[in-house]
Structure 1
């Protein structure tokens, strides 16, 4: 029997021991970082229903028809390869309940590098953590190597860090 595949989220664990239980609905991600990792894995494995389920009710896609969003997610997930995820920094929930994770997603489309760094916000909806919003930058838009960024040094639109 071949060994179980590693989880696409780059945790170092096997998929069945990591994000699979979240994708199957057997458990909720325990924190914002785990949710972010499981969403990256969901893109890699085309688990679009999970991507829909883990959107915050206030995310703009929630106002659109579900089937339309799923069709778009399926197209994006199918057209890309997801070789590596780097979690760069995280901040626990603040007084509003919003947690933040900064990550560098390595993504390729037909051999072209589509990687990006994203500062994502998450909220707990009483059931589980949900993806609220994200602000991202392509590596060529950064003045430093992506792996060196923190929440304090991630460039916001005004040019200031967001931490």
Structure 2
């Protein structure tokens, strides 16, 4: 049985975000990195989250809450972030359940590409819907 990737594209995990999480490929766009980071949150890949976080804003650790279950992702818009650019933003809604309650993280994330790798920089804005 093939497991679908949590990122929302509908592709099998092994050919979608799996290669990014395993270090076999780098995300080619800011959106691909954002989707792979959502999948990392959903699957508990704390090391990947830290590795794809820009050093200037990266926390010392990521402690994922076992009571929080990321359920699905909606990409709302994007600016820049192509393989030929060095900056980009991705606005999204990340849906989750925490202690039985549904909630949404709405963020417009900023990304930068350094040495050929996209990195999460910071939220441009965020709010709960």
TM-score (norm 2): 0.91
Greater length-normalized contact order (CA 8 Å, ≥ 6 residues apart):
2
- 5+ residue gaps in structure 2? none
CA contact (8 A) 2:50 2:58 kept: no
For the residues of structure 1 that align with 2:42 and 2:5, how far apart are their CA atoms?
A: 10
Query: What residue number does 1:9 align with?
Result: 7
Query: What residue number does 2:51 align with?
Result: 53
Task: State the SS of the aligned residue for 2:49.
Answer: helix
Pick from 91, 94, 103: which aligns with 2:79? 91
Within the alignment, does 1:111 sit opposite 2:100 as a pair? yes
Bigger-Rg structure (1/2): 1
Provide runs of 4+ in structure 1 moved above 2 Å: none
CA offsets 1:71-128 (integer angstroms, 9 cap, x no match): x2xx33x22111110000000149x932000001001111112312100000011131
TM-score (norm 1): 0.72
Question: RMSD between aligned alpha carbons?
Answer: 1.7
CA contact (8 A) 2:106 2:126 kept: yes
CA contact (8 A) 2:96 2:103 kept: yes
For the residues of structure 2 that align with 1:60 and 1:23, how far apart are their CA atoms?
A: 18
| Compared CA separation, residues 93 and 31, structure 1 to 2 (3 A) | closer
* Count, aligned residues: 126
Query: What residue number does 1:137 align with?
Result: 127
